[in-house]
Amino acid sequence: MSSTKTARDHPVARIPLPSSDSQLRKRACLNLVRPPPTCTTESAQVTSDDVKNSAVQPVPIHKELHLGMFEIGKPLGKGKFGRVYLAKHRESGYICALKMLKKEEITREKAEMHVRREIEVHSNLRHPGILGFYGWFHDSRRVFIILEYAAGGELYKVLQREKTFLEQRAAQYIS
């Protein structure tokens, strides 16, 4: 359930994209699986000086996650159990993908272990070629998984559109 379009391609996207500086520091604010003692705040529309200054002023993140902490944007994709939305963490301004899975669908398909395993695997993966995982939470009807936002969309869709990649580009993807 990844995106097929980017916020840049969609004129009604209400959530600004992060600056390149904030992309470089993507794991600073929402890695809530094993939270660091502090994190830095950053805005989605900051100057590089703001980013540098915010790095010296850490803010604790030991809060229980809930849906109200996020501003929900446009849908990025859908799957068997729910949808993925562009989202903005209200406090930090961080842009992410928020996967919303319906518990009713998960239960009906007897996929509880599949979802638990997805969360477990995501929480243990740290690789530049794999989207970052920032945490998860749930309410009475849904499970929410917070993932890194892939502004370029799905690699599969790019390959479908372009038909082939040059050798150098393919090497970047598999390295």
Q: Is the pLDDT of residue 64 over 70?
A: yes
- Domains defined along the chain, listed by start: 7-174 (3.30.200.20)
The per-residue pLDDT for 158 is 87
CA dist list (Å): 128 to 3, 23, 39, 92, 160 = 18, 12, 20, 22, 22
> How many Å is the Cα radius of gyration of the chain?
17
Q: Are 42 and 22 in contact (CB under 8 A)?
A: yes
Q: Is 148 annotated as a binding residue?
A: yes
Q: Is 102 annotated as a binding residue?
A: no
Q: Is the pLDDT of residue 19 over 90?
A: no
Q: Is 157 annotated as a binding residue?
A: no
Q: Is 149 annotated as a binding residue?
A: yes
DSSP string, 99-156: EEEEHHHHHHTT-HHHHHHHHHHHHH---TTS--EEEEEE-SSEEEEEE---TT--HH
CA dist list (Å): 109 to 42, 80, 99, 112, 130 = 40, 9, 18, 8, 27
Name the helix (H) or strand (E) containing 21: helix 20-24
pLDDT band at residue 154 under the 50/70/90 scheme? confident
Report which of residues 28 and 126 the model is more confident about.
Answer: 126
Q: Are 58 and 35 in contact (CB under 8 A)?
A: no
Q: Is 78 annotated as a binding residue?
A: no
The per-residue pLDDT for 75 is 95
- What pLDDT digit, counting tens, does each position of 85-106 carry? 999 999 999 999 999 999 999 9
